Chain A
Amino acid sequence: AQSVTQPDIHITVSEGASLELRCNYSYGATPYLFWYVQSPGQGLQLLLKYFSGDTLVQGIKGFEAEFKRSQSSFNLRKPSVHWSDAAEYFCAVAPTGTASKLTFGTGTRLQVTL
């Protein structure tokens, strides 16, 4: 069965600083990979996804992620964080061909200081 690990439960960065959120997955083949963001009291919003092809994926709100097969990682990055980016971020995987059945990581809560 696939699994996702987000080793950082909580991260604090200063506004304007760069950000990297870590995600490692376990799966026999290359899964579909996703990053979602959840603001308090809200549902989840898709930031970006990887299915195949270029391993550097661009998403919304200035986020990008890089798929590294050798490290089974799909880390999320942003060059300059804004205070409005404070939220919880979830990495998720799905078996190829069943993109509805997502397995989520435990999430990383991002705090942004001014």
Chain B
Amino acid sequence: AQKVTQAQTEISVVEKEDVTLDCVYETRDTTYYLFWYKQPPSGELVFLIRRNSFDEQNEISGRYSWNFQKSTSSFNFTITASQVVDSAVYFCALSEYAAGNQFYFGTGTSLTVIP
């Protein structure tokens, strides 16, 4: 079974629109960590944010914000006032404390921001 589900395969928005990328995870571990990565056309995955299972506080960083809800096992990512440079593939990932070093990645959401 997929531990991390990103149901949105591709999203297109017009510049300056807001967009939310969904991430749903599945784990039995009580201690776990969630991550978001950005993969621009150049190919290298860039780390964006980390959240641990004990911290449900939402986070805002500039135009980016993250909403972590344990009740729905979701860790959604919102880009406000999108820009062309936000066009990329975005991956959500899960790391379980008991599982050691392995990360479980979702299948990614390809975001295209149209100028």
A, B co-complexed: no
